[in-house]
């Protein structure tokens, strides 16, 4: 039964192209709602299949293993709520006359193709085709970030295009190096680019070539993941992009880039042992955490605030993967919970931006009173992102801290210190927004906007709460399979 996988990849392509063709706003909305439903349902079904059978494939076109299924779940669920939020958000922009119908449909076309490219990238067995799909997502994101065409948006878009063009070229060089090494073992053919084959023969690949390939992939995809010191595009892009796009960038694209790094890590670990990648990941993860924790405090723009929080959480996840074992388990768990919480935070931020038409943090105080929906979204997501129980990020951060103590005690102290700093600064900033004297009503939002945004926020919150402190059985199965891919047994302390 492979059709959920086909639907998962094909639905956004069809909905995107369809949105360009239909000449009616309501029809575009209907298409997007169908897409949201299809994404959610098919992602869950693919996940179920992988839980039952361990994998799923459509010939050599699409192939899914545990790690892919995990990403399918993240991109599927957040992609689905993101689409709903986009319908509300862009609908409001349209109703206010900021957009023509043509640009409205073009936005959804780009948005859907962006989601489709990401889903294609994760359901691939071929590392070069994965690269092509990731490049596709980069290009569509480039147009989405500059979508509003203001000077600031164009500047952010230009920064993003140039930095990610360089990053993605470096990643391609890493891919070529893998091929350069593997074609001597697997022959000059596509077989030499397939994960499943590479994993089998990893011990026979040339260690130096694989090490250099990993460094190129880490820097290249790391640029896309917003890993410090290549993160400079990230806050600008997240702040200037239309908010539904910010949510998708943060929750899905960063996660996708981490996924690509992990694929290279699995091969490298098997070829040269885990020490090499682990040191690099722990180093870069800690650096990102340091940069983010410092800059969180000085942010005056609430979208930039959440952008820096993304750098922080990607850093934490990388650190977890660098610790290995239970850390890998926690890292993957962290990625899912971060995606859910961060997109909910951006949905809230989007509503605030629509209401006030600026992003100054200290001029939107008292949100809980004057914009309860946005206020609740930002409060709950903020608590989750700060790492408070009963949310999954608490579990994963605790687990990473404990495994760090076991494996690299010298890092653990720094990690906890930075985590505390980030916790305090993020919560301080969030409370400044949601409490205090209400900042005046702002522009009222249309009913449709509130309905769609409310649904998106509600679904995210419900999932976030439901998986909260205990990892559901099916997810444990998949997470264990992911840890096995990295070749070390899990021991959850």
Partner 1 sequence: MPLLTPHVGSQLVDLGSALLLLICFAIVAQRRLSACVDLFALQSVFLAATAALVAFLTGIHHIYIAAALTIVIKAIVIPRILKRVIERLNVARELVMNVNVPAGLLICGGLVMLAFFITQPIIPLGFLLTRDSLAIALAIMLIGFFTMIARKKAVTQVIGFLVMENGLFLGASAAAYGMPLIVELGVFFDVLVGALIIGIYTHRLQDAFDSVDTSKLTILKE
Q: Which residues of this protein are in contact with partner 1, per CB under 8 A?
A: 126, 128-129, 131-132, 135-136, 139, 142-143, 146, 149-152, 154-159, 161-162, 165-166, 169-170, 172-173, 176-177, 179-181, 183-184, 188-190, 193, 206, 208-209, 212, 236, 239-240, 295, 298
Is there a contact between 327 and 400 (Cβ–Cβ < 8 Å)? yes
- Residue 209: CB minimum distance to partner 1, A: 4
CB nearer to partner 1: pick between 145 and 374: 145
Whether the ω angle into residue 229 lies within 30 degrees of 0, i.e. cis, is yes
CB nearer to partner 1: pick between 189 and 200: 189
- Residue 178: CB minimum distance to partner 1, A: 10
- Residue 10: CB minimum distance to partner 1, A: 18
CB nearer to partner 1: pick between 212 and 451: 212
- Residue 11: CB minimum distance to partner 1, A: 22
CB nearer to partner 1: pick between 295 and 394: 295
- Residue 383: CB minimum distance to partner 1, A: 26
Phi/psi for 360 (5° steps) reads -75, 125
- Contacts of 366 by beta carbon, 8 Å cutoff, 6+ apart: 434, 435, 436, 437, 438, 439
DSSP states of 150-204 as a string?
-HHHHHHHHHHHHHHHHHHHHHHHHHHHHHHHHHHHH-SSGGGGBHHHHHHHGGG
- Contacts of 258 by beta carbon, 8 Å cutoff, 6+ apart: 221, 225, 314, 317, 318, 321, 335
CA dist 473 to 48, 384, 478, 480, 485, Å? 11, 22, 9, 11, 19
- Residue 126: CB minimum distance to partner 1, A: 8
Segments of 244-297 assigned E as strands: none
Residue 447 burial class via C-beta count within 10 angstroms: exposed 0-12, middle 13-18, buried 19 and up: exposed
- Residue 256: CB minimum distance to partner 1, A: 16
CB nearer to partner 1: pick between 48 and 301: 301
Torsion of CA 441, 447, 453, 454, to 10 degrees: 90
- Residue 161: CB minimum distance to partner 1, A: 6
CA 490 to chain centre: 24
CB nearer to partner 1: pick between 70 and 295: 295
Exposure class string for 2-16: b at 16+ Cβ within 10 A, else e: eebbebbbbbbbbbb
CB nearer to partner 1: pick between 7 and 163: 163
CB nearer to partner 1: pick between 77 and 142: 142
- Residue 139: CB minimum distance to partner 1, A: 5
CA dist 479 to 71, 463, 474, Å? 11, 17, 9
CB nearer to partner 1: pick between 30 and 132: 132
Phi/psi for 56 (5° steps) reads -160, 140
- Residue 81: CB minimum distance to partner 1, A: 28
Rounded (5°) CA angle 34-40-42: 95
CB nearer to partner 1: pick between 128 and 388: 128
Residues facing 56 on adjacent strands: 64
Token pair of 129 as six digits? 């085709």
């Amino acid at each position: 039964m492979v059709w959920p996988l086909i639907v998962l990849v094909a639905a956004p392509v069809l909905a995107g192209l369809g949105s360009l063709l239909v000449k009616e706003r309501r029809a575009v909305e209907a298409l997007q709602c169908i897409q949201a439903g299809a994404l959610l349902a098919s992602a869950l079904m693919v996940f179920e299949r992988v839980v039952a059978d361990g994998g799923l494939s459509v010939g050599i076109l699409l192939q899914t293993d545990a790690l892919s299924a995990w990403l399918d779940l993240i991109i599927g669920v957040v992609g689905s709520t993101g689409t709903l939020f986009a319908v509300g958000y862009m609908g409001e922009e349209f109703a206010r006359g900021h957009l023509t119908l043509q640009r409205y449909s073009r936005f959804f076309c780009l948005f859907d193709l962006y989601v489709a490219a990401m889903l294609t990238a994760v359901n691939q067995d071929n590392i070069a085709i994965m690269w092509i799909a990731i490049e596709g997502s980069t290009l569509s994101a480039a147009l989405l970030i500059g979508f509003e065409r203001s000077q600031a948006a164009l500047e952010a878009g230009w920064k993003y295009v140039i930095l990610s063009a360089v990053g993605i070229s470096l990643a391609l060089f890493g891919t070529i190096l893998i091929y350069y090494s593997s074609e001597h073992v697997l022959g000059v053919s596509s077989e030499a680019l397939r994960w499943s084959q590479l994993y089998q023969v990893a011990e026979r690949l040339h260690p130096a070539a694989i090490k250099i390939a990993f460094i190129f992939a880490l820097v290249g995809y790391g640029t896309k993941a917003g890993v410090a010191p290549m993160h400079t595009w990230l806050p600008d892009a997240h702040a200037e992009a239309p908010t539904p796009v910010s949510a998708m960038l943060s929750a899905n694209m960063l996660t996708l880039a981490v996924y690509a790094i992990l694929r290279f890590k699995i091969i490298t670990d098997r070829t040269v042992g885990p020490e090499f990648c682990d040191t690099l990941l722990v180093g870069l993860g800690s650096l990102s955490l340091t940069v983010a924790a410092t800059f969180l405090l000085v942010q005056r723009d609430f979208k930039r605030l959440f952008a820096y929080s993304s750098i922080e959480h990607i850093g934490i996840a990388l650190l977890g993967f660098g610790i290995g074992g239970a850390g890998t388990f926690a890292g993957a768990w962290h990625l899912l919970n971060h995606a859910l919480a961060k997109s909910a935070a951006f949905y809230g931020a989007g509503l605030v931006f629509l209401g006030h038409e600026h992003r100054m943090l200290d001029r939107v105080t008292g949100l809980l009173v004057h914009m309860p929906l946005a206020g609740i979204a930002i409060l709950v997501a903020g608590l989750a992102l700060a790492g408070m129980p009963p949310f999954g990020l608490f579990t994963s951060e605790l687990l990473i801290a404990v495994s760090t103590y076991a494996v690299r005690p010298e890092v653990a102290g720094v990690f906890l210190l930075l985590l505390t700093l980030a916790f305090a600064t993020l919560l301080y900033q969030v409370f400044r927004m949601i409490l205090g004297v209400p900042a005046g009503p702002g522009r009222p939002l249309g009913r449709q906007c509130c309905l769609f945004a409310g649904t998106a926020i509600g679904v995210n919150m419900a999932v976030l709460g439901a998986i909260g402190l205990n990892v559901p059985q099916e997810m444990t199965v998949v997470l264990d399979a992911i840890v096995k891919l990295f070749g070390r047994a899990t021991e959850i302390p």
